[in-house]
Structure 1
Amino acid sequence: SLNTFQPPTVINLRNKQPRWNDRLKSYALNFGGRVKQASIKNFILMDDSYDPKDEDKAPSLIVFGKIDENTFALEFRHPLNLFQAFGIAMSEFDFKLKCE
């Protein structure tokens, strides 16, 4: 029946904050060894409902990072699906439409 319709749940995401890395002498994200190259496009998103003090305990919902010059890794988990994760990852690229 129409009375039982449940709208989709909205989840607010936020970037995990980088932590100071003494070895690198810079701020860095922990990609668990999967991301090999620094890039402005690298990010980890988490559910915004976690307290920032407990950020390390929060599961990563999307991990996107550069592996080599032309290869990026994309990992995601429920409640996101492939199309949502891919769309979020593609938003990191600046595609220019070429009109001739």
Structure 2
Amino acid sequence: MLCEFGNLCINISLARHRPTGTGVSCPGPTYNPFTWLYKLVHCPQYTYMIGAWLSLSVMTQTVPVAVFAALVSVQMLLWARRQHGKYLSQVNNGRRFWKTAVVPFLI
């Protein structure tokens, strides 16, 4: 439930975000604690979704759910890497280059 609520907060943040007109711009953290993940990653919506699927896999302890969660995670990692590349190529200020795509400090 926590990951799903975090994903909802991120999606609301993305819906309210208005680009500056220069192309892709990365939304930032707001007063909502679930959006603070923007300080570490560029695509926190994928972080929360992967966490939700992996949590469901652990809770059900079934092989089909685990395989589906793994496949969904791989697909979301690919989408996040592509979006991360867009952010890096279009946002060139010094404080954003260290962010990762999905998992803080790893991917």
- Say yes or no: TM over 0.5: no
Higher gyration radius (CA): 1
> Going by fraction, where is helix more abundant, 1 or 2?
2
Considering Cα pairs closer than 8 Å and 6+ residues apart, tell me whether 1 or 2 has the greater RCO: 2
TM-score, normalised relative to structure 1: 0.27
User: Which has the larger strand fraction?
Assistant: 1
